[in-house]
Amino acid sequence: MQLRNIAIIAHVDHGKTTLVDKLLQQSGAFRDNQRVVERVMDSNDLERERGITILAKATSVVWKDTRINIVDTPGHADFGGEVERILNMVDGVIVLVDAAEGPMPQTKFVVGKALKVGLRPIVAVNKVDRPDARAQEVINEVFDLFAALDANDDQLDFPILYGSGRDGWMAAKPEGPSDQGLAPLFDLVLEHVPVARTEPGPFRMIGTILEANPFLGRMVTGRIISGSVKPNQSIKILHHDGKLLEQGRVSKILAFRGIERQPIEEGVAGDIVAIAGLQKGSVADTFCATEVNEAIPAQPIDPPTVTVSFIVNDSPLAGTEGDKVTSRVIRDRLFKEAEGNVTLKIEESEDKDSFFVSGRGELQLAILIETMRREGFEIAVSRPRVVLKKDETSGEVLEPIEEVVIDVDEEHSGVVVQKLSERRGEMAEMRPSGGNRLRLVFHAPTRGLIGYQSELMTDTRGTAIMNRLFHAYQPFKGELPGRRNGVLISNEAGEAVAYAMWNLEDRGPMMIEPGVKVYRGMIVGEHTRDNDLEVNVLKGKKLTNVRASGKDEAVRLTPPIRMTLEKALAWIQDDELLEVTPTNIRLRKRYLDPTERKRFEKSGTIAMAN
């Protein structure tokens, strides 16, 4: 059977996973009576809750006696490392673009990588049934984007389809016909994407996706470049620098058949398979026959730009809610994560009770923290900070700059421009995007964008859409304004009392509810002024035997500020930490004792500790 390997790439929320659902359905991968969940490729709980793809996954369909392996990729730039790796596995890409929004930053990021490795794209304009669709303009924007990314003549001569992934149809024109379903897309893949390329020689495969299976152990997915492999065959693993890592036997070979993986008797060149049975192989390593001595060169991965410290939780409530609290189990979990996620970098501190975790952005790090807390971990996390570099020639300090694209109503554009210029952002472009909306493009330092998303939503009444993409390392832009308000800090340990909180309402909004356990040094609210204030939230009402009319009304409290994980990470300052447990997210001062806090503030060592 002939093979085709394709990836579907697009910006977040442009409909990749929904389209894969329909491709599987119309190719007969499901039985007619089979119950299948929506967005079947989003198998992870967090992916389902947030509606985003985090991990790249493969599936396959059969169309006209040809097996098409399809790889669904993440749409968010923070998970771009997944995309960079899987482009080695495929011979063509379907670039999915929203008919109203057009090509967005993530589209640009992934398409640039795909064009660089020589893949010829198929452009599919999705959601043409939207009332604000502008299919023809979007095609012109895609062509301009390809030209700007130095596409060659073959790549610029791309075929185009229009349709709706949700309704399951594609056609050569935006108006249809829609009764042919996705057959035009399948046929175009067979016609436009070359047969899976192979090379002569013994078995060789480069690891692309790593996972742990409870029954089969470590499993590595990749595309076989040459030769074939069978169960029980003896193979070896070479590190990408050519060093021998391990020699052993393949226990099982699994291939993607629809949404399931089935064991096969032989993996042949060109196919995408998962291999089990070896303990040390990882992403970017070469799996090969014993006579091969040269590793396959791996694609370089863009460097991480944001770091947070994972610290062993030392609060008075430590160990009361989670069962994984020691530095050893945290260390093992982080290094295990780094094995399969090549964009993460883990460094251990000298005192061994904290770890520096570097990634592509706050979302990637927040997803890791959320995954760990669901597994029962308790950790304290510092404020994200950017990874700075030094220019080797001039010795100048460089910081990461991002390209920020904001779609906003015209009436709110002024406040967006003002806020981003305060954060050292420079406007690169401003143009109308239809429907009284503007598209603003800025180049802004990553430091200034930490925590800006929630502020943008407030400033624009929730109507703005912001997308970010790493642009380049540029000279340090200077100091940036921080959080303007101080915090309210609990000065006692116990359970918060409604009466005390009611009396403190004029000091600032609270972040906790009555009955919540607090401890000394824990942040319980936001101060209305710029300094920190210690307060007592445990003080109950003094009761006497005298009752005056009108004095015993029920206490009515203003609802507290709700902090999500991402919002809290961006909100805390350098001298504060986020305590994350399976059941709670608490904010606290790095030093809980007020005397110790003042001493460190005077000596200025908080910055060093961070």
SS (H, E, C) 433-491: CCCCEEEEEEEEEHHHHCCHHHHHHHHCCCCCEEEEEEEEEEECCCCCCCCCCCEEEEC
Please check if 13 is assigned to a binding site: yes
Please state, in angstroms and rounded to a whole number, the distance separating the CA atoms of residues 284 and 300: 10
Dist. CA 60–CA 23, nearest whole Å: 10
Nearest residue to 88 (alpha-carbon basis) of 225, 236, 251: 225
Q: Is 16 annotated as a binding residue?
A: yes
In angstroms, the CA 565 to CA 433 distance is: 32
φ/ψ of 566, rounded to 5, equals -65, -40
Helix axes 452-459, 413-422, angle to 10 degrees: 150
Residue 320 marked ligand-binding: no
H or E element at residue 345: strand 345-348
Distance (Å, whole) CA 93 – CA 149 = 16
Q: DSSP 3-state helix, strand, coil percentages of the chain (rounded to 5)?
A: 25, 30, 45
- 599 residue type, one letter: R
Six token digits for residue 435: 């429907």
Look up residue 33 and give its two tokens: 């009576």
Backbone φ, ψ for residue 596 (5° rounding): -65, -40
17 is an annotated ligand-binding site residue: yes
DSSP state of 508: -
Q: Is 128 annotated as a binding residue?
A: yes
Tell me how far apart the alpha carbons of residues 35 and 28 are, in angstroms, rounded to a whole number. 14
352 annotated as a binding-site residue: no
Number of neighbours of residue 127 by Cβ within 10 angstroms:
23
- What residue numbers does the annotated binding site for GTP cover? 13-18, 126-129
- What residue numbers does the annotated binding site cover? 13-18, 126-129
